[in-house]
Structures are given as structure tokens and as C-alpha cells.
Amino acid sequence: MISLKNVIKTYDGKEVLKNISVDFPDGKTTVILGPSGSGKSTLLRSLDLLVRPDSGTLSFSDISLDYAQPVTKKKSFDIRKKTSMVFQNWNLFPNLTVIENITTAPITVLKQSKEETEKRARQLLSQVGLAEYADRYPSQLSGGQQQRISICRALAMNPEYILLDEPTSALDPELETQVLLILEELSKMDQSMIIVTHNMQFARSVADKIVFVEDGEILFDGSPKDFFEHPTTRIKDFLSGITFDDSKKLK
């Protein structure tokens, strides 16, 4: 389990995480929801130390870390070894082929053998339906294909948790579906995942737990059932605000 306690992060005097405490259980899919600029991404990135909060603690099974103290290289390595991030714009390495994108880190960082790593990479690629693209460059593929590859890249590091930062926000609906199906599959296989998303239908179908963040605070932390069936007034507003229907006309 990953636990954050009393996490505070400010950018230029503005508090973006206000004393946040939250747990992300093992083997479950936690979905983080909330309006843009609420601090969702900052929260997710704090788990992987891409963002360094000002204070608070992170505990991750046997590792604990005080954000206010200097972090040793070893500790940051150990934490990042347990997590892998999938980004909104996938951030594949354009200078490497698809297969190199997946294998370079396991070979360089985990010192795995080249043959083993490539074998596993090809397996992952065929699982996401992209086996025949192994030797292409990312720029030759669609956004949805690139995002599926970036999921393979994350999985190849055998992380305990996969962190996904709006993985489908930059995709059109058809490509989005291809990616969501893979995530649903992973969720069914009890892969620990934390997903920031705006797709409510998806959140509803895969989430084991929902965390609703607004203005750097957690306004809801519980089951999807409670979230969607017994929403608070604010959540009701949020859910209706992102639904398109004819009852809302611009006044």
C-alpha cells in the first residue's frame, strides 16, 4: 500500500496540495477525479518524486520518506522502481524505435539481459495488438498506438504500481477506447493502478476506489458506488457539469 500523510505543496506561494492524507491500496485501481488545476497531477507526480512536496510523508510498503528532508539517490531509486508513470502525452522517446523504447530502461537500469528483455517486450506488444510495430519509430504511429506502447514501457519495468496521468485526454474517442480496454484488462488482473482521468464512464467501471480532489483538498475518498450513487452537492455539480445534455443552454 502507498500512504501519503499531511502532504503540502506550494508553487509560488499558492498551495496546490493542502495537507493531503490518502491511501492507495495494493492490487486495486484507484481513480483520482477532479476539475482541472485541482492538484490531481501534482498528487500523482508526488508519488513518483517527479514533484517534490514541501512537507509530509510517503510510505510505500517497507520504504518511508519525509518530503521535507533531502532524498537520497538510493531511496528515490527504490521508490521509482516500485512505480512507473504513464503520461498524458505518452512521452515516448522519439529517437528510439518502439522496441527500444520498451527495452532500454530494463537493460540499462535493471541490467536485464537483452534477449530476455526483448522477448518480454514483444510479448507485451502483442498483448496490446502492436507486435508488428516493434521496429517503427513513435512518430510513425497514432496517438492511441503510442499510448499503448508507453503502457508497455511502464509494464516492462515490473513496477508494483502504474501511475497514469490522464492517459486518454489527448486522444480522440476511438483511440481512447483502445487504451481504456487495455487498462480495464490490467485492472481485472489486479495490477495496482492509480489513474487520473476525466472519463466518468471508465472511472465507474474500473475503479475500486475513488478520490475526488478539488483546490488541493480531498473532498471524497471512498467506493465508486458511494461516489456515483450518493454524491454530495459539490460532486453532483461536478458530475452534471461535465455531462452534455440539452437541459443546459447557455443563458
Partner 1 sequence: MWHIIITSLPEMISAMLQYTIPLAIISFILGLILAVLTALIKFIQPSENKLVKYPWLVLRAIADFYVWLFRSTPLLVQLFIIFFGLPSAGVELSPFIAAVIGFSLNTGAYASETIRSALMSVPQDQWDAAFTLNFTTKQTLMKIVLPQAVRIALPPLSNSFIGLVKDTSLASSITILEMFQVSQQITAKNYQPLLMYSLAAFLYAVVCTLLTFLQHYLERRTSRYVKGSEA
- In the bound state with partner 1, the residue whose beta carbon lies nearer, of 28 and 80, is 80
Cβ-based nearer residue to partner 1, 49 or 210: 49
Look at residues 165, 143, 159, 61 and name the one whose alpha carbon lies nearest to residue 105: 159
163 vs 195 by CB, closer to partner 1: 163
Shortest CB 172 distance to partner 1, Å: 18
Of residues 34 and 138, the one with the C-beta less far from partner 1: 138
Site of interaction with partner 1 (CB under 8 A): 48-50, 70, 77, 80-81, 83-85, 87, 89, 91-97, 104-105, 108-109, 137-140, 150, 153-154, 157, 163
Cα 9 from Cα 216, distance rounded (Å): 9
Strands 2-11 and 14-24: antiparallel
3-state secondary structure 147-166: HHHHHHHHHCCCCCEEEEEC
Q: Which of 34, 159 has the CB closer to partner 1?
A: 159
Asked if residues 35 and 23 have their Cβ atoms less than 8 Å apart, the reply is: no
Q: How far is the CB of 77 from partner 1 (least distance, A)?
A: 6
Q: Which residues face 47 on adjacent strands?
A: none
CB of 63 to partner 1, least distance (A): 14
Task: Report, in Å, the least distance between residue 147 CB and partner 1.
Answer: 13
State how far the Cα of 192 lies from the Cα of 190, in Å rounded to an integer: 6
Q: How far is the CB of 110 from partner 1 (least distance, A)?
A: 8
CB atoms within 10 A of CB 200: 16
